[in-house]
A and B are shown apart, each in its own frame.
Chain A
Amino acid sequence: MAFASLTRRGLGVLTAALLASSALVAPAQAQTPPGVLVVGQIAEPQALDPHAVTAVNDFRILMNIYDGLVRYAPGTLEVEPALAESWEISEDGLVYDFTLREGVTFHDGSAFDAEAVVWNFERMLNEDHPYYDTGPFPLSFFFSAVEDVEATDTHTVRFTLNEPFAPFLSNLAYPTGLIVSPEAVMEHGSDFGRNPSGTGPFQFEEWRSNERVVVTRNDDYWDGVAASEAVIFRPITDANTRVAEMLSGGIDVMVEVPPVALSQFDGDDFSLIEQAGPHVWFLILNMREGPFTDQRVRQAANYAINKDALVGDVLEGTADVSSGPIAPAFDWAYAGLDPYPYDPDRARELLAEADAEGAEITFYVTEGGSGMLDPIPMGTAIQADLAAVGFDVTIETYEWNTFLGRVNPGLEGEADMAQMAWMTNDPDTLPFLTLRSAAFPEDGGFNSGYYSNPEVDELLEQARVATDQDERARLYKEMQEIVKEDAPWVYVANWVQNAVHSDRVENFTLEPSFFLLLKDVAKN
C-alpha cells in the first residue's frame, strides 16, 4: 500500500522534525544578564543626530547619549545647569553668557569646549557652514532668535539674540539643543546620525537596523556613572507584539502601553508608572464660517462632550481632562481653571439661544499620529455626545500626513471641527502658534480655526518677551481665562504618559518632558 508506506516514512520524518525543533526550543530565550536593560521602543529611530530628528521616540535614546548646556531638573520642566555650570542674562534679555563645565570630553575623546558649542549652533543655523549639508535640521528654528554665538574664552560662550525670547533656555534643554562632537561629525559626515558621539552617561555601541540600538556605560561621565552596564533599545512597532514581548520577558521596560493592554500588567511581576506631560488634545473649531462662528455654539460643544468618559473609558485613564491651551505640567503657568463640566442640558439651551439646533458639522478625524492618542474611538464618542444635544456631525477620517495637509492650511472651506494635539517643551509655543491673529495659516501659523482676540494677542506677545517668570505666569493665567470663555477650541485631554517595567528593574521614573532618562535605572 502506497499510502501506508508513505505514512511510515512520514512518521519518521515527523519524529525527526519534532526532535530537531525540541532541541531548538530548549532554551526558549537567552535571558539578558543583569545590568543590561532592554527597552521596547515604538519605532526604529530616524537618526541619532539630535539636531536632525523630531520624534519623541528618538529623543528617548538621544537624551542618554548627549547632554545640553542645560537640562530639565528631575521631575520638572524647569531648567538646571548641565554642560554649562552657570549663566547670566543681560537686563534687556538679549545676551546670554554661559560658563561651561571644564574637563568634559566627548565619547570619541575630543574635548568639550566653547569652540565645540559655537560649532554646534553654526552647523544648524548658518547655511554657509561646511557641515550644514549634514542636515536637514528641521527644528533649528527653535534657535531662530539667535543672532550670534561666540566663544568669549575657552570655556565661556555668548549667545546674542535679535529679540528677547523667553523660551530660549527651555529650548536649549530640548534635544535640538544637545551638543554633538564636532570631530565625529567631521569624520562621519552625513553618516554621523548612525555614528553618534556626545558627552552623555551612555556611549553609542551598535545600531542594527530594525533590531536594536545598543549603548554602553560611559565610565568617565561628569555627573556620576550610570547604574546599568548597557541599554538595548528595541524597535517594536506593533503594540500587541510589544505587549507580548513584555509579558514573555523579551524586554524589561516598555513605554506607551496601549490603554486596552493595561490590565495585563496587574500582577506583582510588573510595575506601571504614570506621568502627566506637556501635552494638549483639543478640537479646533472653525470660527470663520459655519455654526461655530457663534460663541454660544462653541460653548455648547464644550458642555456637550463628556470628557470624563473620554479619558476614563476610551483612554482607560491614560489622560486627564483638559481645561485650556496650557498643560498642567507647566505648573507655574497653568491657571488651574475648572474644565467645562459635562452639561448636556446647558448645551441644548445654548444651542436654542443661538438658534442652531440641528447644526451640521463636518468633523475631521485622523487615524493616528504623534500624540493623537486613540483618535478614531475618541472621534466617534465625541460625535455621539454632540448628536445627543442636537448637532448633526459627519466624520471624515484621514491618514495622519493627509490630515495635517488638510488641517494646517486652515479649516475654511474644509471642515467645522478638527482633532489636534500638541506637545511642547514650554508653555509659550502652543498658544503663540495657534491662538494669535498673526498666526492664521495664511501668515504661516497654525491658527487653523481663525481665532482672533486682540487682548489675547497682546498678552501672548508680552509673555513671550518677558524675562521675569512671575510676570509671565500672570500674563498666561489671564490669557487662559479669556480663552476659556471665548472657547475657540473644545478642550479635551492632557495625556498621561505611561510605562511598564518588570520587577527586575529599579529606580525607573518618567519625566514630564516625556524624555526617558536611564542613567540611574538598574536591572537585577
Chain B
Amino acid sequence: MGGYILKRLLSAIPVLLGITIIVFLIMAMIPGDPATAILGSYATPENVARLNRFLGLDEPLWRQYFTWLGNMLQGDFGRSFRLNRPVLDEILDRFSATLILAGTAFVLCAVLGIIAGTISAARQYGFADKAITSVVIIGISVPSFFLGMMMILLFAVKLRWFPVSGMYSIWGGGDLPDLLRHLTMPALALSVVATGVVARLSRGAMLEVLRQDFIRTARAKGVHERRVIWGHALRAAMVSIIPVLGIQAGFVLSGAVYIEMVFQWPGVGRMLVDAILTRDILLVQGGVVFIAACYVGFNIVVDVAQSLLDPRIRT
C-alpha cells in the first residue's frame, strides 16, 4: 500500500511541473500586461517601462520563470501587485473559504445523490424512481449561477430569510450560526447539478449490482431487503460511485467560481477571475498551481480509497 501511494505521489511531480510551465507561458503570452492594467488610460510606453522595471518584468522570460519556480519551491509565491500582499497569504485565506463552500456542497451532493440514486434503483420504474429521475433532470439542466440569482431574489430580497451575499455579517456575527446562514444558499445552489449527476450514476451502478448473483443469494438466504440494498449492494456499487465523486469534487470546485461571483463568497474562484482581468500575474500563477496541486492530491486520495475497496486496482 505504501509503495502504491509513493508511486502515485512521484507521478504527480511531472504533472505539476508541466502546469507551472503552461500557466507561466499563458500569462506571458496573453495580450495586455500588468503595467497597462495598473496604469489604464495613463499607460504611456514610458510609464509602462518604468513600472515593468519596478515589477521585475523587464527580465528575460526564462529568468522570470526560474526565479518564480525557485522562490515557490522555498514557499515564496511572491507578492500580488494588485492586492499588495503576499500571494500565498491571499491564496490560503481565500482557499479556506472555497473549501468551506465546496466542501459543504460536496457532502450535500454525495449524501443526497447516493441516497436518491439508491432509492431510485431499489424502486426501479416505481413512483419514487420516476419522481427522483424527473427532479434530477431538472436539477442538471438549470445553470447553477441562474439558480443562485433566483434564490437571492426569492429567499433574500422577498422573504428575507437569508442574507444576500458574503460569508459573515459585516456587523456582529462571525460565529458558526452566522456562517451557516450565509452558507446555506450558495452551498445548495452549487450542489444541485452535482447531486443530479451523482444520483443518476449511483442509480446505474446500483441497478447493475442488484442483478448480480450474490444479491440473489442474499435475498434467497432471507436477508432483509433494507440490508440487501444499503449493506450488500451499495457497498459493491461504491467502487464505481467513488470515481464519480472524485470527478464531482473537481466539478464542484470549478463550479464554485460562478457561485462565488453571484454570492460574493470570498473564495479562490473569484480571486482568480479578478486576478486574470487585472493581469495580476503572480496571483494567477500561484493560484492555478495551488489549485492544480489540490486536484492532483484529491485524485490520489480517490485512487487510494478505491484501491482500498477493491484491491485488484492496486497493480
Q: Which residue of A lies closest to B55 (CB)?
A: A136
- In A366-389, the 8 Å CB interface with B consists of 369-370
A245 interface residue per 8 A CB criterion: yes
- In A16-52, the 8 Å CB interface with B consists of 21, 23-25, 28-33, 36, 38, 43-44, 46-47, 49, 52
Residues on B with C-beta less than 8 A from A21 are: 184
A232 interface residue per 8 A CB criterion: yes
With A and B bound together, what is the CA distance between A221 and B32 in angstroms? 43
Query: Which of A49, A136, A232, A402 is close to B171, meaning CB atoms less than 8 Å apart?
Result: A232
What sequence of 0s and 1s flags, for each residue 25-68 of chain B, a beta carbon within 8 Å of any chain A beta carbon? 00000111101111111111111001100110000000000000
Q: Is the CB of B164 within 8 A of A209?
A: no
With A and B bound together, what is the CA distance between A210 and B79 in angstroms? 17
What sequence of 0s and 1s flags, for each residue 234-253 of chain A, a beta carbon within 8 Å of any chain B beta carbon? 11111011001101101000
Q: Is the CB of B181 within 8 A of A2?
A: no
Mark the stretch among B135-143, B240-248, B260-268, B297-305 that contacts chain A: B260-268
Q: Is the CB of B229 within 8 A of A2?
A: yes
Q: Is the CB of B163 within 8 A of A29?
A: yes
Q: Can you add 10 more A-B contacts, CB < 8 Å, to A44-B274, A237-B261, A398-B31?
A: A3-B122, A24-B177, A46-B84, A191-B85, A194-B85, A209-B83, A248-B156, A250-B164, A401-B36, A402-B32
A139 interface residue per 8 A CB criterion: yes
Interface of B is mostly: helix
How many contacts A-B (CB < 8 Å)? 172
With A and B bound together, what is the CA distance between A454 and B10 in angstroms? 69
A135 interface residue per 8 A CB criterion: yes
Contacts A24-B184, A212-B170, A446-B44: A244 and B153 contacting too (C-beta < 8 A)?
Answer: yes
Residues on A with C-beta less than 8 A from B128 are: 3
- Shortest CB-to-CB span from B303 to chain A, Å, is 32
Q: Is the CB of A244 within 8 A of B157?
A: yes
B71 interface residue per 8 A CB criterion: no
- Shortest CB-to-CB span from B124 to chain A, Å, is 12
Mark the stretch among A63-71, A85-93, A404-412, A479-487 that contacts chain B: A404-412
Q: Is the CB of B264 within 8 A of A5?
A: no
Query: Which of A29, A44, A138 is close to B51, meaning CB atoms less than 8 Å apart?
Result: A138
With A and B bound together, what is the CA distance between A209 and B42 in angstroms? 27
B204 interface residue per 8 A CB criterion: no
B110 interface residue per 8 A CB criterion: no
Contacts A193-B84, A244-B156: A406 and B31 contacting too (C-beta < 8 A)?
Answer: yes
- Shortest CB-to-CB span from B125 to chain A, Å, is 13
Contacts A36-B171, A400-B277: A237 and B164 contacting too (C-beta < 8 A)?
Answer: no
Residues on A with C-beta less than 8 A from B262 are: 238, 240-241
Contacts A2-B229, A3-B119: A32 and B266 contacting too (C-beta < 8 A)?
Answer: no
Q: Is the CB of A241 within 8 A of B164?
A: yes
A471 interface residue per 8 A CB criterion: no
Query: Which of A232, A237, A248 is close to B274, meaning CB atoms less than 8 Å apart?
Result: A237
A143 interface residue per 8 A CB criterion: no
- 8 residue pairs bridging A and B, Cβ less than 8 Å apart: A6-B226, A38-B170, A194-B84, A211-B166, A211-B170, A244-B152, A400-B32, A446-B44
Query: Which of B36, B79, B161, B165 is close to A245, meaning CB atoms less than 8 Å apart?
Result: B165
Task: Using C-beta atoms within 8 Å of the partner chain, give the interface range for chain B.
Answer: 35 or more
B123 interface residue per 8 A CB criterion: yes
Chain A interfacial residues counted at CB < 8 A: 66
Q: Is the CB of B47 within 8 A of A141?
A: yes
With A and B bound together, what is the CA distance between A433 and B37 in angstroms? 18
Q: Which residue of A lies closest to B44 (CB)?
A: A444
Query: Which of A24, A232, A402 is close to B170, meaning CB atoms less than 8 Å apart?
Result: A232
Query: Which of B39, B152, B165 is close to A54, meaning CB atoms less than 8 Å apart?
Result: B39
Q: Is the CB of B164 within 8 A of A44?
A: no
- Shortest CB-to-CB span from A414 to chain B, Å, is 12
Contacts A25-B181, A244-B157: A237 and B226 contacting too (C-beta < 8 A)?
Answer: no
A355 interface residue per 8 A CB criterion: no
- Shortest CB-to-CB span from B168 to chain A, Å, is 7
B169 interface residue per 8 A CB criterion: yes
B279 interface residue per 8 A CB criterion: yes
Report which residue of B94, B173, B181, B274 has the largest number of chain A beta carbons within 10 angstroms of its beta carbon: B181
B200 interface residue per 8 A CB criterion: no
Contacts A401-B32, A405-B33, A444-B46: A138 and B39 contacting too (C-beta < 8 A)?
Answer: yes
Residues on A with C-beta less than 8 A from B149 are: 240
> Which are the 9 A-B pairs with shortest beta-carbon distances?
A401-B32, A210-B266, A47-B84, A402-B31, A193-B84, A136-B54, A2-B226, A28-B160, A30-B172
With A and B bound together, what is the CA distance between A444 and B31 in angstroms? 19
With A and B bound together, what is the CA distance between A155 and B156 in angstroms? 54
- Shortest CB-to-CB span from B166 to chain A, Å, is 6
Contacts A2-B122, A138-B39, A190-B84: A401 and B279 contacting too (C-beta < 8 A)?
Answer: yes
What sequence of 0s and 1s flags, for each residue 225-258 of chain B, a beta carbon within 8 Å of any chain A beta carbon? 1100100000000000000000000000000000
Residues on B with C-beta less than 8 A from A245 are: 164-165
Query: Which of B43, B123, B177, B264 is close to A408, meaning CB atoms less than 8 Å apart?
Result: B43
A399 interface residue per 8 A CB criterion: yes
With A and B bound together, what is the CA distance between A250 and B166 in angstroms? 10
Residues on A with C-beta less than 8 A from B180 are: 24
Residues on B with C-beta less than 8 A from A31 are: 171
Q: Is the CB of B264 within 8 A of A237?
A: yes
Q: Is the CB of A46 within 8 A of B83?
A: yes
Query: Which of B31, B84, B177 is close to A49, meaning CB atoms less than 8 Å apart?
Result: B84
